[in-house]
Structure formats: structure tokens, C-alpha cells
Amino acid sequence: MHWLAKLYSEYKYLDTQKVEPAIEFILPFYGKWPVYMSLFLHSVRHNPMLVVHLITDIPKPNDLPENVHYHFLPITDLEILVKEKTGYQFGIVGNLRKLCDLKPLLGHVFEDYLKGYGFWAWGDMDIIFGRLHKFIRPHDLANNDVIAFRDDYINGCFTVLKNNEYCKRLYTKSTDLQKVADSDKYLSIDEFGGLAEVYRAGVPQTLAKKDGSIQSMTYVVYNEVEKGNLKLTTKEGLREVILPFEKYYYFDGCIFATDKEIMLYHYVTEKRRPSFAFPDWKSIPERFYMTQTGFYKEGEMTSYSIVSSLRQLKGGFKKFTRRIKDSLAYRLGLNKK
């Protein structure tokens, strides 16, 4: 038996328990569907704890999982709705990156969707879920207002909040909200507000400051915790980088990283690598591998060294040609405004 399969079998008892929906994940997405959307949807299908509200003006995908609800909303109407609900005007049209600054507001803006469950979440689509119910246990839901997955700052890729008036309007505690709304740049109010390296260095979340930083949700959440207004738990299980020697294994809805099960893989780092390849699978297999060079079916691992090396060579060539183009554009003055 594959050692990861053996590890999975040891946890199998958890899946004999009935898992009820508990978290409504609000996900506005505009532009065009990404190449990795089928991977995201496949992992959502395996998570009965999760209900996803997909808000967009892109045509409805085929074969959506039962726990994904499609809501058609033109992006101009989204801007209007945000203004009507919160009083803040966010310039989103033509600036889709700004959607990330909307994340803390989504529970309030789309509160009409949050009817049946105790928690809501913001996050991204460039993630693959493992078994949420293995990591977010009933006592976590019963005893906390916010469930985060880093211990240095609140994460933008997936954060869970209680479905109550206080948490839906928690964003109003930031004194920099108008500044965020007025800016045409993404200011990361959903995460660290320009203080990522400061937080990673261990500076307390309510004390960290530097020029140009803002009061992000990290500051807001930890400040409310210090005041005794909010209960927070930080859970292990999030991975955002694959090391060169690692191979993550997706196995029947679980994700294993080396010898440990993880809750979620956010490929924010890997997808930027020229050598990282997304699959063109017609259907997502129940078992596959993820490495620094992309996705592999189980059968492809017999030739992994060769395929991975070819992807790295191809990625190196892409990087080289990009530098040549950038250099020529600079010399010819084509990149000047």
C-alpha cells in the first residue's frame, strides 16, 4: 500500500461522520474563468462543510457542484451594491485586483445570502481544499468568532468569520477604510496592509507600523482580541509554497504534504513560476500530485524526473525570452508612458 494511502486510512474514521454545511464562502470573480477553476471546483465538491456563492457576470460553468451557487451580477452593479450597503465607493471596473480589498466587506454586502449557516468566509480561487472538517472542528466553530490559518497575519486566501452583525461589519473598525476605497491600488486591507515582512519578523500585530501602511484586518482582528471583543483561533493546515524536494498528493479529497495532511494548498507562489504547468485534464482525477513544476496524474509520476526537467527547461526559456523582450522595450522606449 502507498504510504500516503496508509496515512489516509488512519484518518478515514472522520469521514464516517456526517458533515453538515457550516461555512458560506462568498467569492466574487470577474474577467474570465481561470485555467485552474476546475481544480478549485473539484475540491469544493469534496467539502460538504462548505457552500460557495460564486458572484460574477461570466457565463455559468457547466457541471457546478451542488454546494456552489451561481449568482449573476454585472460588475457595475457590484460597485453600486457596495456603495449602497457600505457607503464606500470602490473603483472595481477595469481594476479587478481591487476585488481583494473588498473581501472584508463581503459579509455585509451579501448578507442576504447568509441565511442558513453560522459562518461566512472570504478567499481566493487559486486554492485547492483538503478536508476542511478535519481541521475546522465543531469546538472551533462553537468557541470562536474568527478562524484564521496563519499565526502572523490574517490571510486573504481563506478566512472564516462568524455570521453575526459584529463580524459582518468588522471592517468598519479600520480607520483607513476611506483611504482604501479611494485608492486605485490594492492596499491589502484583507491581509497585512503593507506590513507582511514586519509581521513575519514577529512584531506584534497591533504595534507594527511603517510609512504607507494601513490598518488592515490583521490589526483590526488582533486589536479586538486585545480588547476582549473577539475570540480568534489560528489553525495549522495552510501551505503556500512547495519546496523543491516536496510532492503534495491529492488523494480522494485529502491533501498530503510529505507525511502530513494539510487543509488547503494556495499556489500563489508556484503559479508565478515559468516552469509551473496547469493540467489540461478533461476531468479532474481523484488522485494526483502537485510539485514545483505543476500537476501530475499518478501514472505520470513514473516519468516525473524527465517531465519535470522539460518543464523547467521550458520555463527557463520563457523567462529568458521575457527578459529579452523587456530589454528591447526599454531600449526602444516602448515601456514609457
For the record, the C-alpha cell of 123 comes out as 478567499
Q: Distance between CA atoms of 329 and 216, rounded to whole angstroms?
A: 37
Q: Distance between CA atoms of 107 and 113, rounded to whole angstroms?
A: 9
Residue of higher predicted confidence among 4 and 94: 94
Would you place residue 189 in the very low, low, confident or very high pLDDT band (cuts 50, 70, 90)?
A: very high
What does the pLDDT read at residue 15? 57
What does the pLDDT read at residue 13? 47
Digit-coded pLDDT (tens) for 112-127: 999 879 999 999 999 9
What does the pLDDT read at residue 115? 80
In the DSSP assignment, the letter for residue 184 is: S
What does the pLDDT read at residue 320? 60
What does the pLDDT read at residue 337? 47
Q: Distance between CA atoms of 329 and 325, rounded to whole angstroms?
A: 6
Query: What's the predicted TM-score (pTM) here?
Result: 0.88
Torsion of CA 189, 195, 197, 203, to 10 degrees: -120
Would you place residue 1 in the very low, low, confident or very high pLDDT band (cuts 50, 70, 90)?
A: very low
What does the pLDDT read at residue 74? 97
Runs of H (alpha helix) within 12-151: 37-45, 75-86, 99-102, 106-109, 132-135, 138-143
What does the pLDDT read at residue 334? 65
Name the least confident of 17-31, 65-79, 200-214: 200-214
Q: In what order do the strands lie in the sheet with 68-72?
A: 68-72, 50-56, 23-28, 119-123, 158-162, 146-148, 232-234
Digit-coded pLDDT (tens) for 115-166: 879 999 999 999 999 999 999 999 999 999 999 998 888 899 999 999 999 9
Residue 148 CA: distances (Å) to CA of 62, 123, 214, 236: 32, 11, 20, 9
pLDDT, average across residues 292-307: 88
Q: By percentage, how much of the chain surpasses pLDDT 70?
A: 85
What does the pLDDT read at residue 27? 98
What does the pLDDT read at residue 302? 87
Q: In what order do the strands lie in the sheet with 260-262?
A: 260-262, 254-257, 248-251, 287-291, 294-297
Residue 104 CA: distances (Å) to CA of 122, 125, 172, 177: 7, 16, 9, 11
Q: Minimal CA–CA distance to 154: which of 170, 141, 143? A: 170
Question: Is the pLDDT assigned to residue 266 strictly greater than 90?
Answer: yes
pLDDT, average across residues 285-300: 93
3-state DSSP assignment of residue 128: strand
Q: Phi first, then psi: give them for residue 249, nearest 5 degrees.
A: -125, 115
Would you place residue 317 in the very low, low, confident or very high pLDDT band (cuts 50, 70, 90)?
A: low
Q: For residue 199, count other CB atoms closer than 10 A to its CB.
A: 23
pLDDT, average across residues 287-291: 94
CB 30 within 8 A of CB 71: no
* Amino acid occupying residue 67: N
CATH fold for domain 3-237: Spore Coat Polysaccharide Biosynthesis Protein SpsA; Chain A (3.90.550)
Q: Is the Cα dihedral 188, 194, 195, 200 positive or negative?
A: positive
* Amino acid occupying residue 49: M
Question: Is the pLDDT assigned to residue 208 strictly greater than 80?
Answer: no
Q: Minimal CA–CA distance to 169: which of 78, 107, 84, 101? A: 107
The count of residues in the chain is: 337
SS3 content of the chain, % helix, strand, coil (to 5): 40, 20, 45
Q: Minimal CA–CA distance to 48: which of 17, 71, 7, 70? A: 17
Torsion of CA 154, 159, 161, 163, to 10 degrees: 150
Residue of higher predicted confidence among 33 and 210: 33
3-state DSSP assignment of residue 30: coil
Domain residue spans in the chain?
Answer: 3-237, 248-331
